[in-house]
Amino acid sequence: QVHLMESGGGSVQSGGSLTLSCAVSGHKYESGCMGWFRQAMGKERETVSVIDSVQRKSYSESVRGRFTTSLDKDKNTLYLAMNTLKPEDTAMYYCAADSSCFAQASYILRQGPSRFEHWGQGTQVMVSS
């Protein structure tokens, strides 16, 4: 059974940085994919970044160049390093996993949140101007 738990959220000023962590258990990295997602109040959940089964990565246009996702298999942790944060980055951030996922990261990114079956509870990020 896949279990995911996010941490690292908080409040920062515009231009600041945060790194989110997602503790992973029960997920098989070689046959699955993972991603970071966010949902702002009153808006639909959107994909932030995806890492595929061979660790290729893809990012949404709104965060490309500012956010970096990485996977430490030894620590069973997925990270999202967020730099140059903007007020529009304020949202609840979730990590998610799909246990059977062999597509490329760029394709998975376009598919959106609906293909992911396992979700964490989320961690809140607030960026003030």
The 10s digit of each residue's pLDDT in 56-106 is 999 999 999 999 999 999 999 999 999 999 999 999 999 999 999 999 999
Which pLDDT does position 87 carry in this prediction? 98
User: How does strand 77-82 pair with strand 67-72?
Assistant: antiparallel
pLDDT for 44 beyond 90: yes
Q: Which runs of E-coded beta strand occur in the chain? A: 3-7, 10-13, 18-25, 33-39, 46-51, 57-59, 67-72, 77-82, 91-98, 118-119, 123-128
Judge contact between 53 and 30, C-beta under 8 A: yes
Which pLDDT does position 90 carry in this prediction? 98
Residues 6+ apart with CB under 8 A from 96: 4, 34, 35, 36, 37, 113, 116, 117, 118, 119, 120
Q: What tokens does 21 get?
A: 């962590």
Which pLDDT does position 94 carry in this prediction? 98
- Three-state DSSP class for 31? helix
Judge contact between 125 and 93, C-beta under 8 A: yes
Mean pLDDT of 17-27: 97
Q: What tokens does 31 get?
A: 């046959």
On average, the pLDDT of the chain sits at: 97
> Could you tell me if residue 102 is left (phi over 0), alpha (psi between -120 and 50 degrees) or otherwise beta?
alpha
Which pLDDT does position 113 carry in this prediction? 97
